[in-house]
Amino acid sequence: MKAVSQIFNQVVREGRKHLLETEAKTVCVEYGIPVTKFEVAKNEAEAVKLADEIGYPVVLKIVSPDIIHKSDVGGVIVGLKTAKDVQNAYGQILQNVKKHKTDAKIVGVLVQEMAPPSTEVIVGAIKDPQFGPAVMFGLGGIFVEILKDVAFRVAPITEAEAREMISEVRAYPLLKGYRNLPPADVEAIVQILLDASRLVMEHQEIKELDLNPIMVYEKGAKTVDARIILE
Ligand code: ADP
Ligand code: MG
């Protein structure tokens, strides 16, 4: 895909390995993977204008090639409900980032649709030196991070394999709905796994893909944060 290759070429030209969230999400969109609506603001007034267009509540995030873990440096502020909130958050994010890394190159501030809370899943891919790209699935939060409750398949995966991956994790019953969480749209997850598989097969320069978290709803899903690392 041309748009995707262009992004990867530019990242390489700039001597980077990590895509910005904006770049990673653009790659996702090209492969049909749903993401939160986003635009980059270059100043406070622009951030307010974009928030109005996207619709409240919004999330603001730093866009910088020097900041990989955005929330670690106060580079993410969620739940902004008014223009005033956006103005305050804009200044706050720049201040937080500058305090942490004075010379960080700032591309802008990402204004993004706030995804309502729901069941969180993770879709990832890594490139194994022996087997090539492999696709990963798990449920968000403690399930992947603490319990390592994940399913892997060597790419490319079939639709049947995508379904197996989802049903074999121990947390699978949670996808049927739990307490205040609605049943999750498993078909939407299957589609994201297949699209992720296609992406890493067609772009062998990808070392790591991490869609984390993806909010899954009764109908549809939305990727909230996307990371891509090149070899
Ligand atoms: P980091 O670079 O620190 O991983 P993220 O983009 O993942 O930054 O943001 C940190 C956290 O903020 C996410 O894990 C998620 O809980 C929340 N978050 C970020 N963006 C959104 C969004 N658009 N909608 C809802 N929650 C979000
Ligand atoms: Mg994240």
- Rounded mean pLDDT of the chain? 96
Which tokens in the block code for residue 192? Answer: 């994201």
Residue by residue, DSSP assigns 65-78 as TT-SSGGGGT-EEE
Q: Which residues, 6 or more positions from 77, have their beta carbon under 8 angstroms from its beta carbon?
A: 59, 60, 61, 89, 92, 93
Residue range 82-106, pLDDT digits in tens: 999 999 999 999 999 999 999 999 9
Ligand 1: residue whose CA is nearest its atom 4: 69
- pLDDT of 1 higher than 80: no
pLDDT band at 141 (very low <50, low <70, confident <90, very high): confident
Ligand 1: residue whose CA is nearest its atom 7: 225
C-alpha count within 13 angstroms, C-beta hemisphere, residue 178: 8
pLDDT band at 178 (very low <50, low <70, confident <90, very high): confident
> Which helix (H) or strand (E) covers residue 4, if one does?
helix 2-13
Looking at residue 159, its pLDDT comes to: 98
Ligand 1: residue whose CA is nearest its atom 5: 225
Cβ–ligand 1 contact at 116 (below 6 Å): no
Looking at residue 23, its pLDDT comes to: 98
* Ligand 1, pocket-test mutation among 78, 86, 113, 217, most atoms within 8 A of CB: 78
Rounded to whole angstroms, how far apart are CA atoms 58 and 37? 10
Rounded to whole angstroms, how far apart are CA atoms 162 and 164? 5
Global pTM value: 0.96
Determine the 3-state secondary structure of 193 from DSSP: helix
**Residue 158 vs residue 131, higher pLDDT:** 158
Q: Residue 72, Cβ neighbours under 10 Å: how many?
A: 10
CA of 216 to the centre of ligand 2 (A): 16
CA of 140 to the centre of ligand 2 (A): 11
Residue by residue, DSSP assigns 81-96 as -SHHHHHHHHHHHHHH
Rounded to whole angstroms, how far apart are CA atoms 67 and 75? 9
What is the DSSP secondary structure assignment for residue 17, as one 8-state letter?
S
Which tokens in the block code for residue 71? Answer: 């929330």
Looking at residue 180, its pLDDT comes to: 83
Cβ–ligand 1 contact at 225 (below 6 Å): yes
Asked if 60 and 38 count as a contact pair (C-beta separation under 8 A), the reply is no
Q: Which residues, 6 or more positions from 221, have their beta carbon under 8 angstroms from its beta carbon?
A: 34, 121, 184, 185, 188, 189, 192, 214, 215
CA of 72 to the centre of ligand 2 (A): 10
CA of 211 to the centre of ligand 2 (A): 8
CA of 138 to the centre of ligand 2 (A): 15
pLDDT band at 147 (very low <50, low <70, confident <90, very high): confident
**Residue 178 vs residue 229, higher pLDDT:** 229
Q: How far, in Å, are 6, 56, 68, 158, 217 from residue 169 at the CA level?
A: 36, 35, 29, 17, 19
